[in-house]
Homo-oligomer: A and B are copies of this chain.
Amino acid sequence: MEKIINNISEYLKKIKDKKPLVHHITNWVTIYDCANITRSIGALPVMAHAEEEVEQMVSISDALVLNIGTLTTDLVRSMLLAGHAANKKGIPIILDVVGAGATKFRTMKAKEILKNVKISVLKGNSSEIATIAGVESETKGVESISVKGDLIEIAKKLADAEEVTVVITGKEDIISNGKDTYVCKNGHDMLGKFVGTGCMATSLIGVFLSVEKDYALASAVALSCFGIAGELAAENSKGPGSYKNNFFDAIFNLDSELVSKLNKIYKIS
C-alpha cells in the first residue's frame, strides 16, 4: 500500500491561480456551504438552476456539481440540460446521489441522470452507492445504515460497469475508476456531527476536477484536503458551532507543507 504525497500542494496553487468557475445545481439545505467551500479554497462558485440558463452557465464553467439532496422533477430536468451541455464541451461533472435508496424517486432520478449524462465522478455514502450498484443496503433518510458486501469491490465493479470514477465516503473514503483505487484516511469524527459535510466534500471534488484530468486522483486529493482541514479544525473546538468555523478557516489556510505532511491517501491497486 503506497502513500501518495506527490503534488497536492501544486493543486492548491493551481486552484488559486486559475480561479475555476464551478457551476452547482444542488439542494436548498447546504447550498450556501457548497458555495462557500468553493470560494474558501480559492475557486468561484455559481449556483444557477433555471432551465432557461443552465446550459449557457455551465458552458462558461470549469466543472459542474449535481447534488440531488432536495431534488424535484424540475430540478432534475435542469440537471439533465446542464449535464448534456457540459458533456458537449468536455466539462467534468460530479453527481452526488444524496438519499438514493431512501425513496424510489431518488433512486430512479439518480439512475436517470447517470444513464443520460456522462458523469465523471459518482459519489455517495456506502448505502447510496450500493443502491446504484444494485447491492442490498439500508438508508435512513440521507444516512447509510448498512451494506451487504465489500465496499472496495462494489466501487471497482460499479466504476467498470458505468465507466465512471466512484467515490464512497465514510470513515475511510474509497475512490476507484476501476483500474486505480485509493483509500483516504484523513478526517475527524466531528465532521459527522453537523450537517453539510458530504455536500461540501462533493463541491470540493468539483473544484479539483477542474485542475486534474485524472478524476480518481483529483477526488482522492480533494477528500484528503477536506479531511485534513477537518483534523486541523478540531483544535480549540467546543462543539459543532465552533468546529464548523474552524473548518472554514482551515480550508482557507491549507498550505502545501501541511498537506504534504498530513495527507493519508493510499493507492491500493
Contacts and interface: CB of A to CB of B under 8 A. Distances in A.
A242 B243 CA distance: 10
A150 interface: no
A60 interface: yes
A261 B52 CA distance: 48
10 contacts: A27-B47, A29-B35, A32-B33, A36-B240, A50-B71, A50-B73, A53-B103, A57-B103, A60-B141, A241-B249
Interface in A100-117: 102-106
Given A32-B195, A252-B193, A142 B46 contact: yes
Nearest to A71: B50
Contacts of A196: 32, 36
**Number of copies of this kind of chain in the complex:** 3
A194 B212 CA distance: 24
Given A73-B52, A245-B245, A44 B143 contact: yes
Given A60-B141, A245-B242, A249-B240, A50 B105 contact: yes
A141 B194 contact: no
Nearest to A239: B249
B29 A47 contact: yes
Interface residues of A, number: 61
A contact patch SS? mixed
- Give 8 nearest A-B pairs by CB, closest first: A239-B249, A241-B248, A46-B141, A241-B245, A53-B105, A239-B252, A53-B103, A52-B105
A262 to B, nearest CB: 17
A194 B140 contact: no
A61 interface: yes
A22 to B, nearest CB: 8
